[in-house]
Amino acid sequence: MVTPPLDSSRTEADGSAVLRVLSYNIRSMRDDTAALARVIAACAPDLVLVQEAPRFFRWRKKLARLAAASGQVVLTGGGTAAGPAVLCSLRATVERTEDVLLPLTPGQHRRGLATAVVRFGGARLGVLGCHLGLHRGERYDQAGMVLDRLAGMGVEHAVVGGDLNEGPGGRAFARLTAGLQDCRAAAPWGGDLTFPSTGPDRRIDAILVTKGVEVLGCGVPVGHPGVTDADLRAATDHLPVLAALRVPSA
């Protein structure tokens, strides 16, 4: 599959916006960061929902370097959200951001949410990046917290991207998709499986949107112009998910 889900991001005459959104677990940038930046840049996203951003020593500088190398700017998240972060293109107008730490499950990693409200032309969009926990019960509870946070953002249209740590058959995945569209299921494009990057056998990374957002295509950008198999394998242990969305005007 070499045809991208859309030719370019754009603002329509009716004020709606056509966007590219990328969700990507980058494993704290412990792998080939040049390959990682090339993959992100080739996808030409308007928003990048990152999981496992650097969280500790000089994490802000590391995330800023990745953003600059891939044609993005840091919007929010990273260490302050316990891993999730949001990058964006200069096309975005930012209304507000908020990083949220979720309740700590004893013996597990701290989890958080990176959130923002942005505008692209006449379209207003809530953005939420997440990385759900490793245990089934924890994930299910965190999925409810994601939905609660979306409901409190005061937006009609929103996108959620993250490493859900389970596939579409899981309880947390089902809880999320009871109220949100699974972009891959709505408009399949590109590849399906996301983990591990060297031989993927499951789909645990996803982009979800509210019902009013039109999904033009969504999947792993295998064969996308400028995205090589070698870079996908070298960049991190997950494959990215790219979605093309049409967001109505506010």
Query: Is 1 part of any domain?
Result: no
CA distance 164 to 3: 27
Helix ranges (H only) for 11-106 are 33-43, 59-69
Query: Is 3 part of any domain?
Result: no
- In this structure, what are the phi and psi dihedrals at residue 226, rounded to the nearest 5 degrees? 90, -10
For the chain, how long is the longest CA-to-CA vector? 52
Query: Is 120 part of any domain?
Result: yes
- Are the CB atoms for 87 and 73 separated by under 8 Å? yes
Query: Is 2 part of any domain?
Result: no
pLDDT digits (tens, 9 = 90+) for 217-233: 999 999 999 999 999 99
CA-CA-CA-CA dihedral for 11, 77, 102, 53, to nearest 10: 110
What are the pLDDT tens digits along the chain (250 aa)?
Answer: 445 566 667 878 788 999 999 999 999 999 999 999 999 999 999 999 999 999 998 999 999 999 999 999 999 999 999 999 999 999 999 999 999 999 998 889 999 999 999 999 999 999 999 999 999 999 999 999 999 999 999 999 999 999 999 999 999 999 999 999 999 999 999 999 999 999 999 999 999 999 999 999 999 999 999 999 999 999 999 999 999 999 999 8
Query: Is 47 part of any domain?
Result: yes
Residue 39: which CATH number? 3.60.10.10
Q: What is the model's pLDDT at position 13?
A: 75
Domain membership of residue 184 as a residue range: 10-247
The total domain count for the chain is 1
CA distance 100 to 178: 23
pLDDT digits (tens, 9 = 90+) for 78-109: 999 999 999 999 999 999 999 999 999 888 99
